[in-house]
Structure formats: C-alpha cells, structure tokens
Amino acid sequence: MENNRKGINIGILIKIVTLLLVIMFFVPLFAVSCSGQIFEFSAARLTTGYSYQGDKLVEPHPVCILLIILPVAVFAASFLIKNSKLLSLLSGASGIINIIMLASIISNAKNEAARNYMEFETRVGFYLSLLLNLVLIGLAVIEFAGITGKTPLLQDSGGAAASSRICTQCGTPLKAGDIFCGQCGNKYEEVTYTAARFCTNCGNQLKEGENFCTNCGCRIG
C-alpha cells in the first residue's frame, strides 16, 4: 500500500529556523535599568555599540555579528548543499557556536550590570534565540542518528510518488531519481508486484505463467 502522508523536508525546517534567527538578531536579548531608565539590547545593538546622551553605555562588539552571519550562511547553504548530513552538520555547528555566544553575552551583561549597580532582566529574545539554535542542533542529531527517514514528519514531502520508492535493503524512503540508498548504499531496483492468481475450480494459488492448475488440472482461462 502506498503511503500518501506528506512530511516536512529537513532542509525546509532548517530554512525556517535560520530565517527566524535572522529576525531574532534585532530582538532584545536583555535589558538594564538605572534611575528609572530602561535600556534594551539586541545582538544588533551590541554589534554596533550604544550611546545615550553622549555617554557610551556599550562599546561595539563586532563578534556579535556572528549571530546573524551564521544563520544567513546556513540558509544560503541549504539551497546549495544537497547532502542532508553535511547540511545538518553545518546547521548543528552554527547552533552550538551561537548558543555559546548567547550564554557569554548574558553572563557578561549580568556581571557588568552588577558592577554598575544596574538592574538586569533577560528578555524573551534570548530564550527564543536559544530555543531556535537548540532546534538546529536537534535536527543535526536526528539526521546523524538516522531517525529522519523513520519519522513521518521529517520525511521528504512529495506524496505517493516519493514515498512509493523504498530501499529494499533497509526500508528507507528514497527521493525520485535516487539510484542508491543514502542510508545503507544499496542500489535501488524497481519491484513489480503481480496480483495473486487462483484456480476458479479448487481455489489453489497459481504461480505466474501457469495455464493449468497443479492441484486439479483445470485449465485457467
């Protein structure tokens, strides 16, 4: 029976997550307050620095621009790289680097706020950015663990035409045009299924090509 359920290609998920991370670059990660004034800081603001009434509150931190460069690079790579494992490796590495940077930003900001007797508050932008990068790492893990081909949600979309191509060696769904299975390397071969034939006289199952029943000798029309 053909499986008509459509899934979501892992490459599409990576595109969506990286686009969201580009947006999160401009969303505040934390805020500090002093004397009734609240100052919010996104990764974009940290990259360029921030001044208030002539005072330099934050010096430029150019390294923070990686929080947008890496997602953009992975997004572009998702159109160029067809190997899902390589793409997942790049996205996972990007996620790890960004998480390390986010944790470092929050830690340093907290320490700096404490030294200057300012109140510190982590914004939702930090948690969303953290979650999205964890998704990139998670996608890489399940790809290398071989779970993608067995999870309907993460199978390549394409309907019945795509899902009807199955590796006869390991059962992994194959894309249209795949010659070898990406999971086990087995060469794909079309399998033709012929409906079973039965003798109309005694009900004995017949083999392909038989014109007479081997059980009762009745001729098969």
Q: What is the per-residue pLDDT across 45-101, written as a single tens digit (0 to 9) for each? A: 999 987 766 666 678 899 999 999 999 999 999 999 888 889 999 999 999 999 999
Ranges 4-13, 61-70, 150-159, 184-193: which has the least confidence: 150-159
Question: How much is the pLDDT for 55?
Answer: 67
pLDDT at 68: 96
Q: Helix (H) and strand (E) counts for the chain? A: 6, 7
* The token pair that represents 126 in the structure block: 């930090």
H or E segment and range at residue 197: strand 197-198
- pLDDT, mean over the chain: 81
Residue 221: pLDDT band (50, 70, 90) is low
Q: Compute the Cα dihedral for 200, 206, 208, 212 and give only its sign.
A: negative
pLDDT at 213 (0 to 100):
82
148 contacts 84 by C-beta, under 8 angstroms: yes
Task: Give pLDDT, residue 187.
Answer: 78
Lowest mean pLDDT among 1-15, 28-42, 110-124: 1-15
Supply 186's token pair.
Answer: 């087995």
Name the band, by pLDDT with cuts 50, 70 and 90, for residue 4. very low
What pLDDT is attached to residue 29?
95
Amino acid at 89: L
Tell me the mean pLDDT in the region 135-161. 66
Please, is 148 exposed, middle or buried when counting C-beta atoms within 10 Å of its C-beta (0-12, 13-18, 19+)?
buried
Rounded CA-CA distance 87/11 in Å is: 8
Task: Give the integer Cα–Cα distance in Å for 116 and 136.
Answer: 36
**What percentage of the chain carries pLDDT values higher than 70?**
78
- Whether 172 has a pLDDT exceeding 60, the answer reads yes
Q: What is the mean pLDDT of residues 93-121?
A: 93
Domain edges within the chain: 10-154
